[in-house]
Structure 1
């Protein structure tokens, strides 16, 4: 009798989240994840037509987002897609991620059906769900910025249904990184003119330049990537430091010293409490800090 009760309640737990969605919807979600995993950049000619066939009420927004992301369509930067999705959609995006990572793994342990069942029925940190959502759109943000001037665009982080500073920082990091991560590559290539051309096309955040957002005092948490776990702040604040330093170097090389100093004093480069998240950059940041703060 005890065994029967345990089995019964285990069955109820494992099917509860699943039963909220129709069998057809879950099957189409799994098919969508498989298509995404095989062509997550949307390079194949049949990518759009293949996922269009999978539309349902709950999958429509995901499919629209994937199409606009792979095309680098400006619509992906609109409030329709930057606004935080509901919990069901965020879970669906996580199913897509986990099936994709499972397919990439050399030691594939689960079927896609098992992955979907597991994700839909287990509690997942809302920060992971939200970061995963914006990360899936990240490639579209970057494609748009390759040739578009976004300098007239402002992202007001208070307008996207984000409930606290952690969630606003998650959106900021995903957006800004897609635009400025290229700075360190261009700096290494000594292509300062191109870097500054990109800088001139950057959007603003809360009506401020990207480097003026300099407060990230939320509690750190683990970021879980593909077979990798690391500090969320180390991952993103280090990237920001690298881009800021690259930007400063380019400004200095073009004798725009006032602009370089302005960037320094308005950014997290003046905040030693964040240096610990920069890893190998910390000695350089400390040295720069001491130079600018000599009495």
Structure 2
């Protein structure tokens, strides 16, 4: 009974009653921002910055500042102003921008009027976890771009100080950051058998809570359905699986370049050695086999 009640309360209070009230100017400018973003999702260039800046209002200032900062992809994107959890009102406005973009690029749905798209988002309940994932997807993209050329090894990202409500929100932040820093990057490099390049990036990674990223394994939260771009899937199966792919590449590359003993540090201190999470990985059977041999 207690478990059921806990799950029910998590479900109920994870939804944000949108109904954000925007005046005509704020709404008009937010819709314009969505259209500008959709044509330039990386937020790059002086023209993008000027266009966004021209749409400032007191209500939209944070959206403008962060959009421009995303395009710059400089170390300032790691400031708490950008990494901290925004208010729900701000998260809803970011979701309006997302939905305007998806409405334009959809290959399966007939585009709707952008005013209708915005009105729909602003009138319905939206899972806060979806809102949060959308925001950190935008921010982490800039962090990933910054990491292309920057050594972030002196940076510590303290997840505990960013205003998250619970371990679910912390995990959403963590998954986005790690995936955009090294997730896709490691997959490509592993396919190309560039173990040396993987190790180069490993040495430039920031810390999370004063430790290497692989130490973070606080993923005992209620799973939920996540709606991405025209697909609904288990959040844990998507993101824990992605993390496993990253960790496997990390472990293999480090073992090849620096030796088995160094690689084992990653294995024994990460979810590679946590069987309770294996079910979320497509490599479940391999992980179980290695685990049994390593005990």
Q: Considering the TM-score relative to the shorter chain, is it more than 0.5?
A: yes
Stretch of structure 1 that moved more, 43-52 or 236-245: 43-52
Post-superposition offset of 1:161: 0.8
Task: Name the structure 1 match of 2:48.
Answer: 47
- Looking at structure 1, the residues matched to 200 and 274 of structure 2 have their Cα atoms a distance apart, in angstroms, of 27
Over the residues paired in the alignment, what is the CA RMSD in angstroms?
Answer: 1.5
Of 196, 201, 208 in structure 1, the residue corresponding to residue 211 of structure 2 is 208
Residue 24 (str. 1) matches residue 25 (str. 2): yes
- Looking at structure 1, the residues matched to 258 and 162 of structure 2 have their Cα atoms a distance apart, in angstroms, of 39
TM-score between the two structures when normalised by the length of structure 2: 0.90
Task: Name the structure 2 match of 1:257.
Answer: 260
- Looking at structure 1, the residues matched to 134 and 141 of structure 2 have their Cα atoms a distance apart, in angstroms, of 12
Task: Name the structure 2 match of 1:219.
Answer: 222
When residues 194 and 58 of structure 1 are mapped into structure 2, their CA distance, relative to the original with a 3 A threshold, is same
Task: Name the structure 1 match of 2:6.
Answer: none
Post-superposition offset of 1:164: 0.6
Of 138, 141, 147 in structure 2, the residue corresponding to residue 139 of structure 1 is 141
Post-superposition offset of 1:138: 2.1
Residue 197 (str. 1) matches residue 200 (str. 2): yes
- Looking at structure 2, the residues matched to 54 and 90 of structure 1 have their Cα atoms a distance apart, in angstroms, of 18
8 A Cα contact 1:186 1:192, kept in partner: yes
Secondary structure, aligned partner of 2:43? coil
8 A Cα contact 1:223 1:231, kept in partner: yes
8 A Cα contact 1:184 1:243, kept in partner: yes
- Looking at structure 2, the residues matched to 96 and 151 of structure 1 have their Cα atoms a distance apart, in angstroms, of 33
- Looking at structure 2, the residues matched to 19 and 198 of structure 1 have their Cα atoms a distance apart, in angstroms, of 42
- Looking at structure 2, the residues matched to 43 and 275 of structure 1 have their Cα atoms a distance apart, in angstroms, of 39
Post-superposition offset of 1:282: 1.2
- Looking at structure 1, the residues matched to 170 and 75 of structure 2 have their Cα atoms a distance apart, in angstroms, of 21
Unaligned runs of 5+ in 1: 1-15
Task: Name the structure 1 match of 2:59.
Answer: 58
8 A Cα contact 2:104 2:111, kept in partner: no
| Bigger-Rg structure (1/2) | 1
Secondary structure, aligned partner of 1:207? coil
Post-superposition offset of 1:256: 2.1
Task: Name the structure 2 match of 1:9.
Answer: none
Task: Name the structure 2 match of 1:8.
Answer: none
Unaligned runs of 5+ in 2: 1-16
Post-superposition offset of 1:110: 1.9
When residues 270 and 282 of structure 1 are mapped into structure 2, their CA distance, relative to the original with a 3 A threshold, is same
When residues 214 and 50 of structure 1 are mapped into structure 2, their CA distance, relative to the original with a 3 A threshold, is same
Post-superposition offset of 1:215: 2.4
Task: Name the structure 2 match of 1:33.
Answer: 34
When residues 255 and 151 of structure 1 are mapped into structure 2, their CA distance, relative to the original with a 3 A threshold, is closer
Residue 289 (str. 1) matches residue 294 (str. 2): no
Post-superposition offset of 1:79: 0.3
- Looking at structure 2, the residues matched to 17 and 173 of structure 1 have their Cα atoms a distance apart, in angstroms, of 25
Task: Name the structure 2 match of 1:71.
Answer: 72
When residues 64 and 288 of structure 1 are mapped into structure 2, their CA distance, relative to the original with a 3 A threshold, is same
Secondary structure, aligned partner of 1:147? coil
Post-superposition offset of 1:44: 5.4
- Looking at structure 2, the residues matched to 251 and 19 of structure 1 have their Cα atoms a distance apart, in angstroms, of 49
8 A Cα contact 2:187 2:249, kept in partner: yes
Post-superposition offset of 1:41: 1.4
- Looking at structure 1, the residues matched to 221 and 20 of structure 2 have their Cα atoms a distance apart, in angstroms, of 36
When residues 254 and 45 of structure 1 are mapped into structure 2, their CA distance, relative to the original with a 3 A threshold, is same
Post-superposition offset of 1:255: 4.0
Task: Name the structure 1 match of 2:248.
Answer: 245
